[in-house]
Amino acid sequence: MMGMRSSTFYIAHTIIGFIKIALVLLSCTVILLPQIQTISSWLFFSTNFIYGVGAASFALLMSCIFHTPDAATKGTIVIWLVTIVLTILQATDGSVLLNIILSLNLNYAFICAHRAMQDYMNRDEYLGIYNMFENTIYMYSFGIALIMMIFDIVWMSILAIYLDNVYPSGDLPRKHWFFFLHRSNNKHQQCAFYDSSDAPSDNIQKYEGDDQADIDIRHLTKTYTVQPAVDSMSFRAYRGEITVLLGQNGAGKSTTFSLITGLISPTSGSIYICGNKMESHSIDHCQREIGFCPQYNALFNLLTVREHLEMFRKLSGNTIDCVMGLMTDMQLDNVADVFEISAVLKLIERNCVPKLLSDIVKIAEKLSGGMKRKLCVGISLVGGRRIILLDEPTAGMDPASRQAVVELLQRYKRGRTILLTTHCMDEADLLGDRIAIMVRGRLFCAGTSEFLKNRFGTGYLLSIDLVPRQSSHHSLTQKEQLLTIIRKHIPETRKHSITPQQITVLLPTESKKSFPNLFIDLEQNAEKYDINSFGLSLNTLEQVFLKVGELEDANSTALIDIENMAEQQASILCSNSFIRTGLLLWIEQVIALLRKRFICYKKQWPRLIWQIVLPVIVLLFVVFYMKNLSTRDEKRHEILLNAGRIKPSVVLLQLENPETLFGHNILQIVRNITGYSYKLVPPSEKMELSLAKLPKIPPPVSMAVTYNTKNSYIAATAFFSAKARYGPVIATTLISNARLGQSANSIKVSFLPYGNVSDVSPLVSLNSDMFLIAPVLIIIFAFVSSGFVAYIVDDLNTNFLHQASFSYGFNQDKLKLLIG
């Protein structure tokens, strides 16, 4: 635990995601820049840059909603496609408020920004930072679209941080839904040194020292379903000591570690780290005091040993360079940080420094299991944390490496609190200043090794070393005679182990009074029975561990004769009468694999949603859309092509005599159309020059009309904008209505397309809607097929095929046909 905030973690990944997106956007921007003449290059690049940040923020938000890689990938793709589809909901250009609401969709805001760019390009007007908010009366300006893109980044980032606090992955501690309304208390709650957890117990030795309890657990409980994994546990680990937590598999040791480190939240109870209560608002402060080596190897396969240590050194805030600390360790004084880092590196490789420097560049994937564990131990020690938690740190190590870890921890414990778990009783006996044993989630006993041996020991171990003899028969007789002498003084003596040169017997605790006479007898007959030496000690910690388990089992009312049950099951499984061959064997294997797949589907039901339910819903939507598409192809909506079609706009009028009927009518028509305005051009000017000199500012000039009389004939000329759809038709309709009267709708011109699919060749009948549906269908079937592939890959990665190949008559083809 390095005390790193989750926000730091997400920011780092967001930056990496943005860099990937930026590379794609940058290449597209460079290609398009030469084609964009009237748009500021800096503004165009900034727009794409902000869009890239927004896409990375969207991915960050999705990672806080979906907590598995498979669900996150599929969910992000689907939701991103939905946001693209929603861009078809277009507001009118004048509805700024509706456009702002729709711009909460990042893709819609991005499209609006590019529409504004396109409008400036159509008008041949320069778009820069100083005029990007202009013309907001007539259109949704580029500046507003850009601000909405930035706002989208803000709201998605805030929502991601909020969800990370109230809806974290797994069983991480969750904050209240309105945690941001609570006042932050910078003063962490301090714990009282003595409370009810210090009540006297025959199985718990009272601590006599003056050191502080850096780890203080009070009535801690963690329940997953019904049976608690940790049941009302109270426990302390003191500074300057190594505390060993023992227990059988499933006793709750790893769960206790997860609770102490804040990886999971307790059901009830409290935890104090260095005197500060671990709560939702103080968990970061508590985690800064902890160095943690989990039960698994939390390593990155592509990082080297050095890169691992350097990364975690920087995360912890340690400023001493790892490799430089190693190289200068022989020359510098015993500086604490230099000693710490160099000792960690020497732990990873116990040979000379040159060999170490060559091995620290190996990637973690190339390390052996023991080397990986040593690296994990080293990572927990780098950073100078006050509390070190080691969950089975020496698992998979050779004896020499175990000894190196033991020596390092014994030197390292000064001024620190070390709590570790192990299944090696000798290691626990050697390392543990205090030893605690958990049974079924509860703390059964705690104290020094001697205390536990006295409290739960079954007696003493008497070890007798013998002088080696050549005759094995004589040696066996000699040992039997020794056992007879010992049983003469202590009849309850039990054999523990017998080797050619040593005999070890177990003496009950109640027979202490007989020890002096026994020792005198052994000394007097030492030459007779070839006794080299003998010694007495308390029994081993392993026997104490087994005795504690027996006592707990004796108290259980649900005790089952496991040994007899196991023998019965073994006899059934190993019976040859149940082995099938031929077709019956094939049927049994098919049923077994189908049952296995059914169980997986039952426990991984969200996968079925992605594989079956979601594709079916999308497919039904496509079918419904295609059904409506065929109806729309037969008859589309009528499009009225009168003068009011293009608005807002400006109409240029050049009238020889405005008092004429035509001039009066056309002026009245333009005045009556909402959104239209007009400008009069003097008859002496050429209309072409007037159009060229007009500033390209909204509203645009949609058409122009010149009117004069030649030889008693009325000559009207219409000019139209080539960038306006249906411009020629609308311009001629305006002139026709002006000649007829003062109404813009006296003559109506409409566009009503009809289509007969049967009369058109298939190549011509294809339209844009069909091209949009095709990739959707491809994605649907990709979802379905990828789901089946995922199960095959999962089984291959877990070596299920290799394990199943040991079954009689099982082959690879059969597996691939069934596990999908």
Q: What is the pLDDT of residues 439-470, one digit of tens each?
A: 888 898 999 888 888 777 767 888 888 887 66
Q: Which residues of 427-452 are buried (b: 16+ CB within 10 A; e: fewer)?
A: bbbbbbbbbbbbbbbbbbbbbebebb
Four-CA torsion 468, 474, 476, 479, nearest 10 degrees: -70
Specify which of 223-227, 385-389, 585-589, 694-698 reaches the highest per-range mean pLDDT. 385-389
Whether residue 198 has pLDDT greater than 60: no
Per DSSP, what are the bridge partners of residue 676? 649
State the average pLDDT over residues 425-440: 90
The whole-angstrom separation of Cα 91 and Cα 13 is 35
Predicted confidence band of residue 434 (pLDDT cuts 50, 70, 90): very high
Per-residue model confidence (pLDDT) at position 421: 92
- Inter-residue contact 269 to 232 (CB < 8 Å): yes
* Lowest model confidence (mean pLDDT) among 87-101, 364-378, 459-473, 618-632: 618-632
Residues 6+ apart with CB under 8 A from 115: 140
702-753 pLDDT tens trace: 888 888 877 777 788 888 887 777 788 888 888 888 888 878 778 888 877 6
H-type alpha helices, 368-471: 369-381, 399-412, 425-431, 449-456
Per-residue model confidence (pLDDT) at position 105: 93
739-770 pLDDT tens trace: 888 787 788 888 776 654 444 444 344 455 55
Q: Which residue has the higher pLDDT, 226 or 216?
A: 216
3-state SS of 194-239? CCHHHCCECCECCCCCCCCEEEEEEEEEEECCCCEEEEEEEEEEEC
Domain 460-468+475-538 has CATH 3.30.70.260: yes
Predicted confidence band of residue 150 (pLDDT cuts 50, 70, 90): very high
Per-residue model confidence (pLDDT) at position 209: 78
3-state SS of 123-186? CCCCECCCCCCCCCCCCCCHHHHHHHHHHHHHHHHHHHHHHHHHCCCCCCCCCCCCHHHCCCCC
Q: Which residue has the higher pLDDT, 46 or 801?
A: 46
Per-residue model confidence (pLDDT) at position 106: 93
Whether residue 230 has pLDDT greater than 60: yes
Whether residue 156 has pLDDT greater than 90: yes
State the average pLDDT over residues 250-271: 88
Residues 6+ apart with CB under 8 A from 41: 33
Q: Which residue has the higher pLDDT, 803 or 251?
A: 251
Whether residue 75 has pLDDT greater than 90: no
Q: Which residue has the higher pLDDT, 135 or 246?
A: 246
Q: Which residue has the higher pLDDT, 249 or 146?
A: 146
Residues 6+ apart with CB under 8 A from 299: 308, 364, 372, 375, 376
202 phi, psi to nearest 5 deg:
-65, -25
The whole-angstrom separation of Cα 732 and Cα 736 is 6
State the average pLDDT over residues 656-681: 84
Mean pLDDT of the chain: 77
Q: Which residue has the higher pLDDT, 753 or 100?
A: 100
- Roughly what angle, to the nearest 10 degrees, separates helices 142-166 and 106-122? 170
* Lowest model confidence (mean pLDDT) among 99-113, 118-132, 283-297: 118-132
* Lowest model confidence (mean pLDDT) among 68-77, 164-173, 223-232, 284-293: 164-173
Per-residue model confidence (pLDDT) at position 632: 53
Continuous segment of H or E residues that includes residue 710: strand 701-710
Q: Which residue has the higher pLDDT, 252 or 567?
A: 252
43-64 pLDDT tens trace: 988 998 899 889 888 988 998 8
Per DSSP, what are the bridge partners of residue 715? 708
Whether residue 385 has pLDDT greater than 80: yes
Place of tokens 């050191």: 211
Predicted confidence band of residue 630 (pLDDT cuts 50, 70, 90): low
**In angstroms, how far is CA 99 from the centroid of its own chain?**
35
Per-residue model confidence (pLDDT) at position 328: 40
* Lowest model confidence (mean pLDDT) among 91-95, 664-668, 705-709: 91-95
478-525 pLDDT tens trace: 778 888 888 888 888 888 778 878 888 888 877 888 888 888 888 888
For the chain, percent of residues with pLDDT exceeding 70: 76
Per-residue model confidence (pLDDT) at position 592: 81
543-573 pLDDT tens trace: 788 878 777 666 554 444 544 555 555 555 5
Predicted confidence band of residue 330 (pLDDT cuts 50, 70, 90): very low
334-374 pLDDT tens trace: 334 445 555 555 555 543 334 444 556 778 888 888 888 88
The whole-angstrom separation of Cα 418 and Cα 386 is 9
Beta-carbon neighbour count of residue 281 at 10 Å?
A: 14
